[in-house]
Structure 1
Amino acid sequence: MGQDMVRIGLFLGFLVVPVLEIWVLIRVGSVIGGWETVALLIADSILGAWLVRREGRRAWAALRSAIESGRMPDRELADGALIVAGGALLLTPGFLTDVFGFFMILPFTRPIARRWLSWFLGRRVRSLAARSPYAPLFERTGGFDEAGGSGGPAGAGRRRVVHGEVVDDD
């Protein structure tokens, strides 16, 4: 049933988005004129290409820095994915897709898009894990316990944490 919903959503998206884009282009063209609408789309594309290039370079530098410091580059990878997706939306002619593309690319709106992406992917992973044959392994803790470790098999997350200090005898 989950795959059917995805297929229906994709079908509607590929059907509805172009129709909406054409409608918006006609409306904008009737207000500002046909050639002006085309010029606005071209200017929009040039600005988008410049932004994708600039933000892509920043994301790449941040990714390299995170890897060199030994830190998990989760935020940087998400930013890179959003920039690529935003760039693809900016390549699509139309104003609605450009709005979403700029939303994913601009550095002050990308954190919001990153949170939405994280929420969506987390929900999707939990849904897939619930249908997995290994679902009973994660039922008790939802995958991670309060200490940040893997919950593992049921009962494994119930270990008591003893706070203390490690003393080196050397």
Structure 2
Amino acid sequence: MPIRINGTEADLPADARVSLLDLLRETLNLHGTKKGCNQGACGACTVLVDGERIVSCLALAIQYDGRDITTIEGLAGEHGLHPLQQAFIDHDGFQCGYCTPGQICSAIGMASELKRGVPSHVTGDLTTGQIALTREELAERMSGNLCRCGAHNGIVDAITEVYAKDLA
């Protein structure tokens, strides 16, 4: 089965050592997903696989045969930007913008985890059935995505605007 990226089928690389990140950037010319540390520590390369967030620099493309990959380019729909993309603009959730695609994909994956009741290290009460998106919970869940410019407050405000009402 081919890999599906942003709704379009693509061939897997012949070389089984090619990372998903390199397939996206070098073969498919999807440059929104960034290569930061290339060690899985910064989150700049975060994409969604079947709705779950992964760091694509540590993933071999061949592992995702038959799976659905969504990059930052695949989030906007026919009616415009994804609500989180718009919130990042509205709240100045970026300065240089390098981490922004990974931050947005990670936040979308994080919201899905919260809705499914997946706890984090700081989740207090697991018996309520739903986890509130507190600042502490948000900071813990987004800790794998680094912003070195100082846009942290705008990032938190954007994510909170879009997801706090749905998850509280």
- After TM superposition, the score normalised by the length of structure 1 is 0.26
Give the structure with the higher percent helix: 1
Q: Give the structure with higher Rg (CA).
A: 1
Give the structure with the higher percent strand: 2
- After TM superposition, the score normalised by the length of structure 2 is 0.26
